[in-house]
């Protein structure tokens, strides 16, 4: 495992680092601050989804929701490495849409009405807030509730990530789940 400020040769998708001052970062040294690492991150998420899961239908709900989650207009940055973790081998996917009086209500609906979600291998979720009305403390309460409701099984989610978008009509949460397909 490398220290936080050391340089890896490739990013998650296997491309090489962008040169800094004409040198590849690992030729420059390990003391470069993280904030100036410039990686050739893929811009086209749809292409990455196709690359990582070539049999996934581009018109499917899961493809569309992954494109939204990783697409770039999120109010909380997402890690593109979560995409490759989520699209692992032998997976089944499910999208669950929830609306409630609060984001916390959406979390409780997920846990109570969809207990199978606790058996997922990975979960990506996003909240939708009405434009200009983001209530960060409400989202924090929802994520705390999610943590309290999780069982030991669910702590194995890989990945477990969330983000936020504006444009919902009320409190909404979309959960994208990955399940083990089996042998």
Could you read off the pLDDT of 104-154 as tens digits, one per residue?
999 999 999 998 888 888 999 999 987 777 889 999 999 988 888 765 445
Q: Does the pLDDT of residue 6 top 90, yes or no?
A: no
176 within 8 A of 62, measured Cβ to Cβ: yes
Residue 115 forms beta bridges with which residues?
A: none
pLDDT for 95: 97
Residue 171 forms beta bridges with which residues?
A: 100
75 within 8 A of 163, measured Cβ to Cβ: yes
Phi-psi region of 4 (alpha: psi -120 to 50; beta: other; left: phi over 0): alpha
Q: Does the pLDDT of residue 5 top 60, yes or no?
A: no
Helices (H), 21-78: 25-28, 45-52, 61-70
pLDDT for 180: 85
- pLDDT greater at residue 53 or residue 28: 53
CA distance 18 to 10: 10
Chain-centroid distance of CA 60 in Å reads 18
Q: Does the pLDDT of residue 75 top 80, yes or no?
A: yes
pLDDT for 56: 93
H/E stretch holding 160: strand 160-166
How confident is the model over 34-59, as pLDDT tens digits? 332 223 444 589 999 999 999 999 99
32 within 8 A of 6, measured Cβ to Cβ: no
Question: In terms of C-beta distances under 8 Å and separation of at least 24 residues, what long-range contacts does 20-24 make, across chains too?
Answer: none
């Amino acid at each position: 495992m490398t220290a936080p400020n050391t340089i890896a040769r490739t990013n998650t998708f296997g491309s090489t680092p962008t040169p800094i001052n004409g040198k590849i970062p690992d030729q420059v040294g390990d003391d470069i601050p993280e904030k100036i690492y410039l990686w050739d991150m893929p811009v086209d998420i749809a292409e990455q989804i196709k690359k990582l899961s070539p049999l996934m239908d581009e018109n499917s709900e899961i493809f569309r929701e992954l494109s939204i989650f990783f697409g770039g207009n999120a109010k909380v940055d997402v890690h593109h490495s979560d995409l490759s973790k989520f699209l692992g081998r032998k997976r089944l996917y499910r999208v669950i849409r929830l609306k409630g009086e609060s984001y916390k209500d959406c979390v409780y609906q997920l846990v109570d009405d969809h207990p199978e979600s606790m058996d997922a291998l990975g979960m990506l979720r996003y909240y939708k807030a009405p434009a200009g009305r983001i209530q960060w403390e409400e989202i924090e309460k929802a994520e705390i509730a999610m943590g309290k409701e999780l069982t030991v099984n669910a702590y194995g989610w890989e990945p477990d990530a969330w983000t936020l978008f504006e444009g919902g009509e009320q409190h909404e949460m979309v959960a994208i789940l990955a399940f083990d397909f089996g042998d």
